[in-house]
């Protein structure tokens, strides 16, 4: 220790290199990340049931609100169980829903027909490609047999020539 109470700086060969500094910084960041992830998981674990309770409570309140509106409308119309224009509205609403569903289904059908056409084109292309690939081995087998015959003939000639000159 020096006179001012501070430790002297380490020798140059014992000072941390930039790689060591980076490694230390990486380790610290990884530690902080793990701690943060753990905190996040704990928060999620405790918040999820509370959110579920709040959601069910909210749905209950919405149902209660709708019931109160219905009862208020019944009292204002003077007919229990009947809303204003209740004979036309549900049928009209259902008809609109059916028409919207029909449009959606028609759009889906057009899309499916389009996709089927594309798949047919791909199937034709791949079938042609497979047939082309199946024809290649037959050609190569024929070429191989021709080459084998030529090699056998040449080996035979070589053997006869070597016997003749030896």
**Tell me, what DSSP letter sits at residue 35?**
H
**Tell me, what DSSP letter sits at residue 83?**
-
Residue 163 CA to residue 84 CA, distance in Å, equals 117
pLDDT in tens, the chain (166 residues): 555 667 666 665 667 788 888 888 889 999 998 899 888 888 888 888 888 999 999 999 999 999 898 888 888 887 655 555 454 577 888 888 889 999 999 999 999 999 999 999 999 999 888 888 777 666 677 777 888 888 999 999 888 888 888 7
Residue 113 CA to residue 119 CA, distance in Å, equals 10
Give the pLDDT confidence score for residue 96 in this predicted structure: 87
Other beta carbons within 10 angstroms of residue 155's beta carbon come to 10
SS3 8: coil
Residues 6+ apart with CB under 8 A from 1: 7, 8
Q: What is the pTM of this model?
A: 0.30
Please name which of 73, 71, 69 lies closest in space to residue 84, comparing C-alpha atoms: 73
Place of tokens 């919405």: 62
């Amino acid at each position: 220790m020096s006179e001012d109470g501070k430790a002297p700086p380490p020798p140059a060969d014992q000072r941390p290199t930039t790689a060591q500094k980076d490694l230390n910084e990486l380790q610290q960041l990884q530690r902080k990340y793990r701690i943060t992830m753990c905190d996040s998981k704990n928060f999620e674990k405790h918040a999820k049931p509370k959110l579920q309770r709040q959601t069910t409570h909210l749905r209950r309140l919405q149902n209660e609100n709708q019931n109160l509106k219905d009862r208020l409308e019944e009292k204002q119309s003077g007919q229990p169980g009947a809303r204003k224009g209740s004979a036309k509205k549900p049928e009209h609403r259902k008809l609109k829903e059916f028409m919207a569903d029909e449009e959606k289904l028609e759009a889906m059908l057009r899309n499916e027909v389009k996709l089927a056409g594309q798949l047919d084109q791909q199937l034709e292309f791949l079938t042609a490609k497979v047939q082309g690939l199946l024809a290649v081995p037959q050609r190569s087998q024929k070429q191989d047999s021709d080459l084998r015959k030529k090699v056998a003939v040449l080996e035979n000639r070589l053997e006869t020539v070597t016997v003749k000159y030896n």
